[in-house]
Amino acid sequence: MCCSGFLKIMMFVFNGAIFLAGAGILGIGIWVKVDSDSLMGILDNLEDAPSELSNLAYVSYVLIGVGAVLLIIGFLGCCGAVKESRCMLLTFFSIVLIIFLIEVAGAVILFVFQDVAKELLDNLETEVRESIQKNYGELESLTSLWNTTMEEFKCCGYRNYTDFDGSPFFNQHEGGVYPTTCCNATITEGACNTDEANRSMIDGCFDTLLKLIEENAVIIAAVILAIAALEIAAMVVSMILYNDIGNKA
């Protein structure tokens, strides 16, 4: 009886952790979905963008899906322990085993994705620069998307402020003027011209985005591996409790 009670407590601990981790991943997925709209809007305006970029839009949905499934698993494990239902415990074990295998594969893919993302973004440089120099300041939709992205990520252009040289926006102002996000407001005097932009040296959105991908890929992969460890423990405890309930029957 004491052993059975201890196992129930362990199931609550493990599944409570899985439930909270699922809520965290679900939150990250929603955040990625909300913050990716401006970036994907810019990429949609590129005529020769690699087809692989369309897959980036599905990352948020994968995270949301995994988070929701983990929430369900955590709830299922707790109910199975409370009701001492062998059927629920066996279902819990089977689902967790499948999710565990998927998560390990997903963690490996996230680490590999960092290099793939850098290569994809590198290959886009020429197309993005040409798009900026041709349309920024003239095409309202692209101008608005770039302004939103630069304000949100605190960056300037794809690589740096020189991406705007020769653009309609640059040429509309005598002597050439860059977007305000290309200058540090605390040190800039007057308009954001070449001297001020060079003095500010705001990071380009390429470097900012790549850093964001790398940081979040490592965090997400670490969370997934931590959840996988919890799931192994939960599967072991669920099978012990499953056998214990069977022996009492």
CA quadruple 228, 231, 233, 239: dihedral sign: negative
**210 and 121 Cβ atoms separated by less than 8 Å:** yes
Q: For position 35, what pLDDT does the model report?
A: 61
Q: Specify whether 108 is located in the same domain as 139.
A: no
**In the prediction, which pLDDT does 165 show?**
92
Q: Which comes out higher in pLDDT, residue 70 or 119?
A: 70
Select from 162, 169, 145 the least CA-distant residue to 43.
145
Kindly state whether residue 181 falls inside one of the protein's structural domains: yes
Cα separation, 88 vs 80, in Å, equals: 5
- When the pLDDT of each residue in the chain is averaged and rounded to a whole number, the result is 77
Does 205 fall in a domain? no
Stretch 52-61: mean pLDDT: 59
Q: Within this chain, do residues 153 and 188 fall inside the same structural domain, yes or no?
A: yes
- Of 2, 55, 59, the C-alpha closest to 33 is 59
What is the structure's pLDDT at 187? 85
Choose between 42 and 126: higher pLDDT.
Answer: 126
240 and 187 assigned to the same domain: no
Do residue 87 and residue 49 come from a single domain? yes
Whether 53 and 13 map to the same domain: the answer is yes
Lowest mean pLDDT among 38-42, 82-86, 147-151, 206-210: 38-42
> How many beta carbons lie within 10 A of that of residue 54, not counting itself?
12
pLDDT computed for residue 56 by the predictor = 54
**pLDDT (0 to 100) of residue 40:** 54
State the total domains in the chain: 2
Q: Which among 224, 226, 229 is positioned nearest to 25, based on CA atoms?
A: 224
* pLDDT value of position 36: 56
Domain annotation covers residue 80: yes
CA distance 31 to 130: 30
Give yes or no: residues 177 and 94 share one domain.
no
Q: Which two tokens stand for residue 121?
A: 């973004």
Q: What's the pLDDT score for residue 39? A: 54
Provide the pLDDT for residue 52: 47
Burial class (CB in 10 A: 0-12, 13-18, 19+), 120: middle
233: domain range? 2-113+218-248
39-48, 78-87, 179-188, 203-212: which is most confident: 179-188
The least confident of 41-45, 134-138, 139-143 is 41-45
* pLDDT tens figures, 156-185: 998 899 999 999 999 887 778 999 999 998
pLDDT at residue 116, rounded to an integer: 63
**What tens digit of pLDDT does each residue of 217-233 get?**
777 777 777 777 877 87
What pLDDT is recorded for position 114? 59
Give the C-alpha separation, 111 to 217, whole Å: 7
Q: Tell me, letter by letter, the H, E, C secondary structure of 61-72.
A: HHHHHHHHHHHH
DSSP code string of 16-66: HHHHHHHHHHHHHHHHHHHHTHHHHHHHHT-TT--GGGGGGGGHHHHHHHH
Q: Does some domain include residue 120?
A: no
